[in-house]
């Protein structure tokens, strides 16, 4: 059975009978986990093993484990600093910032792989322009070239741990004040300005071989009236043709306020798939997933299916074994060293 285009959320720390039935449907291709699904490393490892055992090829299991404000698994996992700390370090010592970024990406991915998670939706490639509160310190830096430099090191670390990377939120969420979880942000700038600023980090990361990108529920009014998630111009013309991106395109959560103007859930899903998304996040509730399973009963995109299969995690040590690995201890020490404010003052 191939992987379908729906990535669904679960209500609690183990799937209900209804959720298990939906996970077996061919229109579903993955699960995204949240804090509501997490109790302990042992429990989450059992949950991912159960999810993977339901299908062949296994369903993808993903989580947002960026660090800072967005770290879904905490107890039993290393506290990760917001990546803005790496940007601050880069302003003082670029070489050390790159080393720390690679160590952080490895540590984040290695810990997740140790409990069976395939993907973390990271790194954030948006710019820290001091405009967007929802992005804020989730962004590495205000300079797109620095963002790409640090993200390249971060994703190198992820790959060494057996995890591919997903950059977000294409083509850039850092320059709008509105929170797309609640409403539809509008960026009025023309394409030429976006190309020289927000878009630059994404273009460079495509050149560096990033495996996946996640879209922004943002309208770029000077370019296209549709939000980027639902825009053939942004996903097909810019991302696929001009940038040459061949990886997976994930939509951001279709429940978000920024997606609401497109219509009901089936309408949103069809619009995102028609625009060029390969996988759609539907993070809350079984009813909308059941609606999409029916609405997408005839969906078939062999190219998307091939892209998605390549997103599975590879290898990785078990949870206890990882903590006996000297690389883990060294990475933890590096992360702790740049997470202390006084460290930057003394360097």
pLDDT value for 342: 41
Residue 100: give the domain boundaries.
Answer: 6-346
Distance between CA atoms of 285 and 288, rounded to whole angstroms? 6
Q: Find the CATH number of the domain harbouring 221.
A: 3.20.20.300
Confidence of residue 341 (pLDDT cuts 50, 70, 90): low
Tokens of 269: 């899903």
Tell me if residue 143 is catalytic: no
pLDDT tens per residue, range 253-310: 999 887 878 889 999 999 999 999 999 999 999 999 999 999 999 999 999 999 999 9
- 326: burial class by Cβ within 10 Å (0-12, 13-18, 19+)? exposed
Are 64 and 121 a contacting pair, CB within 8 Å? yes
For helices 84-92 and 326-338, angle between their N-to-C axes, nearest 10 degrees: 80
For 130-161, how does the pLDDT look when each residue is reduced to its tens digit (9 = 90+)? 888 889 999 999 999 999 999 999 999 999 99
Among the listed residues 118, 137, 252, 253, the single catalytic one is: 252
Q: For residue 277, which of 290, 292, 291 has the smallest C-alpha distance? A: 292
The span from the CA of 109 to the CA of 49, in Å, is 17
Nearest Cα neighbor of 108 from 127, 124, 92 is 124
Q: Assess if residue 180 is contained within a domain.
A: yes
Residue 342 annotated among the catalytic residues of the structure: no
Lowest-confidence segment of 13-17, 76-80, 260-264, 284-288 by average pLDDT: 260-264
Q: Whole-prediction pTM value?
A: 0.95
Residue 344 has pLDDT above 50, yes or no: no
Distance of alpha carbon 73 from its chain centroid, rounded? 15
User: Whose CA is closest to 6, among 274, 273, 302, 306?
Assistant: 273
Residue 1 in domain = no
Q: How many domains does the chain have?
A: 1
89 is a domain residue:
yes
Q: 302 in a domain, yes or no? A: yes
User: Distance (Å, rounded) from C-alpha 204 to C-alpha 252?
Assistant: 21
* CA–CA separation, 113 and 122 (whole Å): 14
Q: Mind listing the pLDDT tens digit for each residue in 314-339?
A: 999 999 999 999 999 999 999 999 98
Kindly name the residue from 91, 181, 264, 274 that is annotated as catalytic. 181
User: How much is the pLDDT for 343?
Assistant: 43
**Comparing C-alpha atoms, which of 264, 266, 261 is closest to residue 298?**
266
With 0-12 / 13-18 / 19 or more C-beta atoms within 10 angstroms meaning exposed / middle / buried, residue 226 is middle
271, two tokens: 């619009």
């Amino acid at each position: 059975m191939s992987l379908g285009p729906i990535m669904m959320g679960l209500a609690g720390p183990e799937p209900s009978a209804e959720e298990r039935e939906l996970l077996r449907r061919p229109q579903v291709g993955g699960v995204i986990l949240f804090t509501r699904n997490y109790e302990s490393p042992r429990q989450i490892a059992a949950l991912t093993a159960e999810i993977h055992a339901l299908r062949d090829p296994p369903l993808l299991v993903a989580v947002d484990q960026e660090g800072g404000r967005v770290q879904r698994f905490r107890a039993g996992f290393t506290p990760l600093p917001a990546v803005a700390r790496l940007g601050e370090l880069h302003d003082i010592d670029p070489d050390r910032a790159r080393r720390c970024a690679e160590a952080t990406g490895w540590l984040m991915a290695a810990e997740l792989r140790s409990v069976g998670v395939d993907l973390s939706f990271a790194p954030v490639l948006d710019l820290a322009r001091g405009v967007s509160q929802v992005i804020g310190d989730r962004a590495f830096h205000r300079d797109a070239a620095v963002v790409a430099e640090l993200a390249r090191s971060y994703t190198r670390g992820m790959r060494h741990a057996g995890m591919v990377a997903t950059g977000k939120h294409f083509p850039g969420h850092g320059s709008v004040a509105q929170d797309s979880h609640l409403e539809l942000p509008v960026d009025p700038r023309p394409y030429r300005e976006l190309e020289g600023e927000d878009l630059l980090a994404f273009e460079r990361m495509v050149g560096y071989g990033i495996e996946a990108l996640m879209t922004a529920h943002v309208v770029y009014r000077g370019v296209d009236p549709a939000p980027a998630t639902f825009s053939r111009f942004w996903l097909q013309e810019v991302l696929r043709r001009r940038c040459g991106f061949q990886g997976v395109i994930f939509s951001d959560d279709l429940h978000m306020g920024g997606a609401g103007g497109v219509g009901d859930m089936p309408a949103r899903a069809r619009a995102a798939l028609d625009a060029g998304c390969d996988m759609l996040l539907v993070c809350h509730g079984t009813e909308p997933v059941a609606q999409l399973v029916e609405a997408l009963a005839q969906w078939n995109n062999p190219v998307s299916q091939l892209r998605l299969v390549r997103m599975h995690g590879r290898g990785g040590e078990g949870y206890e074994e990882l903590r006996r690995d000297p690389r883990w201890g060294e990475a933890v020490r590096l992360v702790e060293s740049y997470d202390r404010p006084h460290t930057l003052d003394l360097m």
